[in-house]
Amino acid sequence: MEISSASSLLLLISFLCSAFFLFFKQHSPRSAPANLAALKSYPVVGNLPHLVKNSHRILEWTTDLIPTSPTGTVTVAPFVFTANPANVEHVSKVRFANYPKSEPIILAIRDCLGRGVATTNGEEWRLQRKAASHEFGTRSLRTFIHEKVCHELLARLVPLLTRASRSDEVIDLQDVLERFAFDNTCSLAFDEDTMCLGGEGGEEGKRFFHAFEEATRLCVERAKQPFPLVWRIKKWLHVGSERRLQEAMEIVHGFVDRCMRSRGDRPSSGQDLLSRFTADGANSDEFVHDNLISFVLAGRDTTPAALTWFFWILSSRPHVSVKIREETKQIRTRQPEENGGKLAFTMEELREINYLHAAISESLRLYPPVPMVPRDCLEEDELPDGHRMRRGWILMYNAYAMGRREAIWGSDCREFRPERWLDEEGVFQPKSSSVFPVFHTGPRTCLGKDMAYIQMKVVAASILERFDMAVYAIVTFKCDRM
């Protein structure tokens, strides 16, 4: 099963772009610290050959390396990989200002995402984060999100899966969920129906979807260049992948600009992010434009990837599906069926679905959509476990490896066991974000966490209530009506 494109963006940029650049950027030829002993260091190039050799499997390679260290941290200069919760807490909260987002990453994706909250640091980031978090923290937005998810689910996703079930069709579930998430995310962002999952018309929305996908892929290709100068020259010459990236971004920017211009000319609920960001005129057009694009990228990619892994896990664990159905059935009995059929779950019902919440969290623990997070080190520092960080190095905390550490989750850490998230009464108990950094931690904690859980619980509960799914290939599924 493929890692999501947002995850690929982070991993490929960090290793194939920054490794070369940062290694030769070191300010002095001082001897390597003791914690480099686990890997052979070569003359002049140091640990760089290890990074190049394993660039195609960085996640698996570093996850295998980390257990060789008693502290859960391994240095492969100029990178430090950690699965130590104390280190995650340190870089994400205690020394937050010393560990900003990686500048090489920001430069590589800025043409796509602009100067939104996802591509800024320092005071610029703080101001944008404050404005965005105010809107994401409102109860009315969560209600609006729930309404949009339920509408898209009942109007498009369930009918699509029903047709597939009746015709005995095998479907690519990840593609279906990506289109569902894109439609839903655009509804939340612009109050626009892009109709990527079906519907009459929708040509503009589908062009937007494909252009967004193309732009993300081309940013990954841009990041594969060993030196930023390569893609910058191609951009200046307007050739090859840089020309295609610019063409894709013209479609993306054009769609967002059109939505912004037409906001006052068409009816709107006033609850979408565009309406919220422009309500009092306090935010600049650039702020609104760039943060809407960042929101679409986050909503389009991570949630469908998480749900795909979730259904893949459940396909080999029917007893978990049975428990989820038993739980949702009990909750359903408290509400009468309307219009002769079962509707999507209400917000009140979602709050009572503890086992499903635990199962989704357990899936995220083992298969986080963004498995590694890079942070630059501005000034030399010592991590809580004793590892040294030099100025200009990159620390990467590995959420994928953390989910597989016995020191954190116990001897059964590689098993899928939702019960680890429940108390004796079966009520969901959240974990510290330092040991479960799937939605990040500290000031950069994901603003869309609540939204993501609402989407995942509505979709998962509604699909499992109606269908059985069997894995036919890596990401293709067959739906059978229950």
3-state class (DSSP) for residue 264: helix
How far is the C-alpha of 332 from the C-alpha of 343, rounded, in Å?
A: 10
C-alpha torsion sign, points 448, 250, 213, 257: positive
Query: Which token pair is 116?
Result: 């939104």
- Stronger pLDDT, 135 or 422, i.e. the higher one: 422
- In this prediction, residues 295-303 reach a mean pLDDT of 87
pLDDT, tens digit (0-9, with 9 covering 90-100), for 449-478: 998 999 999 999 999 999 888 776 554 555
Residue 16 has pLDDT above 90, yes or no: no
- Stronger pLDDT, 72 or 105, i.e. the higher one: 72
How far is the C-alpha of 318 from the C-alpha of 223, rounded, in Å?
A: 41
3-state class (DSSP) for residue 267: coil
Residue 17 has pLDDT above 80, yes or no: no
Report pLDDT for 148. Answer: 92
- Stronger pLDDT, 398 or 337, i.e. the higher one: 398
Report pLDDT for 37. Answer: 40
Report pLDDT for 442. Answer: 94
Under 8 Å between Cβ of 369 and 4? yes
Report pLDDT for 31. Answer: 39
Report pLDDT for 471. Answer: 74
Query: Which token pair is 422?
Result: 């429940």
Lowest-confidence pick of 48-62, 117-131, 157-171, 358-372 = 48-62
Question: Domains along the chain?
Answer: 1-101+371-402 (3.30.43.20)
Residue 105 has pLDDT above 50, yes or no: yes
Report pLDDT for 41. Answer: 75
> At 103, which amino acid appears?
E
In the structure, what pLDDT confidence band is assigned to residue 481 with cuts at 50, 70 and 90? low
The pTM of this model reads 0.87
Residue 116 has pLDDT above 80, yes or no: yes
Query: Which token pair is 24?
Result: 């030769």
Report pLDDT for 476. Answer: 55
Highest mean pLDDT among 22-36, 299-313, 396-410: 396-410
- In this prediction, residues 209-221 reach a mean pLDDT of 89
Residue 3 has pLDDT above 50, yes or no: no
Backbone angles phi, psi at 313, to 5 degrees: -65, -45
Could you tell me the CA-to-CA distances from 331 to 326, 343, 429 in Å, in that order? 9, 13, 19
pLDDT, tens digit (0-9, with 9 covering 90-100), for 406-451: 999 999 999 999 999 999 999 999 999 999 999 999 999 999 899 8
How far is the C-alpha of 44 from the C-alpha of 93, rounded, in Å?
A: 35
- In this prediction, residues 27-48 reach a mean pLDDT of 58
In the structure, what pLDDT confidence band is assigned to residue 482 with cuts at 50, 70 and 90? low
Under 8 Å between Cβ of 460 and 363? no
Report pLDDT for 92. Answer: 96
Residue 258 has pLDDT above 80, yes or no: yes
**Closest C-alpha to 32, from 64, 70, 71, 79:** 79
How far is the C-alpha of 480 from the C-alpha of 482, rounded, in Å?
A: 6
Report pLDDT for 224. Answer: 66
Residue 446 assigned to a binding site: yes
Percentage of the chain beyond pLDDT 90 is 57
Residue 365 has pLDDT above 90, yes or no: yes
Distance separating the N- and C-terminal Cα atoms of the chain: 26
